[in-house]
């Protein structure tokens, strides 16, 4: 075992850990598992030239920068698809600014090759056991069964990555907060990144959290039951009080594996109080509405995202669908709040209520 010297970067992919746990590293040819932590050195700088630490600070990277890194899988159509190596590799790819590593399998053509990381050794405890982020969850449910009525769940989904989901979630949180409501917020799927949940906190959500609080650096390629367990653990911890709202974001698009998996689950569908669909443009929103209806038997209560900031996109939408649209950049609180408001108590539903008001800016 070797001692890890001070001066390394502690990335947000290792959010569930503390600096007190990180003391030693040990070179070994272990086949990596999701959540395994390594001590490594940055080699060739590629697409990612910075690292986000556990406080949200962004560190500039240099050739030779040393940091902790966490093994995981990434699904990002605008960047990379990356997975765990099938065997130990001394050099791996930086998949995300949060410090998650793996091997890039595909990438968007306009994106640079990944930054290279040389593994110096696995982070180990005093007994030489490899440290894994999943062994140290920061969130533990205080109940074993869901009690009803529950917190009204406002679910934000999108047609694709970067369709405006986080901005729409923040708009919902802000609207509820300034209307006198208590709001909690979670991002249930995706790749470790504090940016989105910090936006939720900026808008007034407290507490706020994501899957990294349960020790996962990402959710891509997790088994069905494990993915549903993440949703239910966060629900059990943050969705129990009927007077609080729970705003939830699912990453990427409706066709993405984990989003589709969760929307197919009755446990998730029956928990939804309001469903917000985000899209880049009007045509994408129309396609998203169709997928929600035909594949998941769901209808959005409102449309938002990037398309909501364009009067022309809104005009095109109004020609095709009769679903409310709200501008997530500058939401009209007086109009949006009645759309989100719950008529208490909220109980487990077999079907979703219809939207009642058109919100257009």
Mean pLDDT computed over 317-341? 95
Range(s) of the domain holding residue 90: 2-135
Which of 85, 104, 135 is the C-terminal boundary of a domain? 135
Q: Extract the tokens encoding 182.
A: 């208590």
Give the domain CATH number at 167: 3.40.50.300
Residues with Cβ within 8 Å of 127's Cβ and at least 6 positions away in sequence, in order, are: none
For residue 355, name the pLDDT band (cuts at 50, 70, 90): very low
**Does some domain include residue 70?**
yes
Which residues sit opposite 302 in a β-bridge? 276
Which of 83, 109, 135 is the C-terminal boundary of a domain? 135
Q: What is the DSSP string of 78-130?
A: TSEEEE--SS--SEEEE-STTSEEEEEEEE-TTSPPPPEEEEEEEEE-TTSPB
pLDDT(346) > 70? no
**Does some domain include residue 359?**
no
Based on the fold, state whether residues 299 and 198 are members of the same structural domain: yes
3-state helix, strand, coil in the chain (%, to 5): 25, 25, 50
Q: What is the pLDDT of residue 143?
A: 85
DSSP state of 49: -
Based on the fold, state whether residues 289 and 189 are members of the same structural domain: yes
Based on the fold, state whether residues 160 and 124 are members of the same structural domain: no
**Does some domain include residue 357?**
no
Q: Extract the tokens encoding 101.
A: 């590593």
Based on the fold, state whether residues 122 and 158 are members of the same structural domain: no
Asked whether the whole model's pTM tops 0.75, one would answer yes
Mean pLDDT computed over 234-258? 97
pLDDT tens profile 118-155: 999 999 999 999 999 999 999 999 888 999 999 999 99
Based on the fold, state whether residues 118 and 218 are members of the same structural domain: no
pLDDT tens profile 162-191: 999 999 999 999 999 999 999 999 999 999
pLDDT tens profile 23-81: 999 999 999 999 999 999 999 999 999 999 999 999 999 999 999 999 999 999 999 99
- How many domains, in total, are found in the chain? 2
């Amino acid at each position: 075992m070797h001692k890890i010297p001070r001066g390394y970067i502690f990335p947000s992919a290792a959010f569930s850990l503390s600096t007190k746990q990180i003391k030693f590293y040990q070179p070994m040819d272990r086949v990596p598992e999701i959540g395994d932590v390594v001590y490594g050195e940055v080699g060739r700088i590629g697409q990612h030239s910075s690292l986000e630490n556990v406080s949200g600070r962004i560190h500039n990277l240099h050739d030779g920068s040393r940091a902790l890194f966490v093994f995981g899988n990434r699904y990002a159509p605008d960047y990379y698809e990356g997975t765990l190596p099938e065997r130990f590799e001394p050099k791996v790819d930086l998949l995300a600014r949060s410090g998650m590593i793996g091997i890039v399998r595909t990438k968007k053509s306009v994106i640079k090759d990944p930054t290279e990381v040389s593994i110096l050794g696995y982070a180990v405890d005093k007994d030489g056991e490899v440290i894994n982020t999943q062994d140290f969850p920061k969130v533990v449910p205080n109940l074993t069964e869901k009690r009803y009525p529950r917190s009204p769940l406002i679910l934000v989904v999108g047609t694709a990555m970067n369709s405006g989901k986080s901005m729409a979630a923040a708009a919902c949180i802000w609207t509820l907060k300034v209307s006198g409501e208590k709001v909690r917020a979670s991002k249930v799927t995706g790749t470790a990144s504090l940016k989105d949940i910090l936006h939720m906190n900026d808008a007034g959500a407290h507490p706020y959290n994501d899957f990294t609080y349960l020790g996962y650096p990402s959710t891509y390629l997790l088994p069905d039951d494990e993915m549903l367990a993440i949703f239910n653990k966060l629900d059990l911890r943050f969705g129990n009080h009927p007077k609080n709202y729970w705003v939830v974001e699912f990453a990427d698009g409706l066709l993405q594996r984990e989003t589709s998996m969760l929307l197919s689950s009755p446990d998730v569908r029956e928990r939804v109080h309001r469903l917000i669909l985000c899209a880049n443009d009007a045509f994408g929103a129309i396609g998203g509405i169709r997928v929600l209806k035909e594949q998941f038997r769901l209808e959005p209560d409102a449309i938002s995202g990037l398309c909501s900031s364009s009067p022309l996109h809104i005009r095109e939408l109004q020609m095709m669908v009769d679903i409310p649209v709200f501008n997530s950049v500058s939401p009209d609180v007086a109009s949006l709040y009645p759309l989100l408001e719950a008529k208490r108590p909220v109980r487990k539903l077999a079907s979703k209520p219809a939207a009642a008001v058109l919100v257009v800016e």
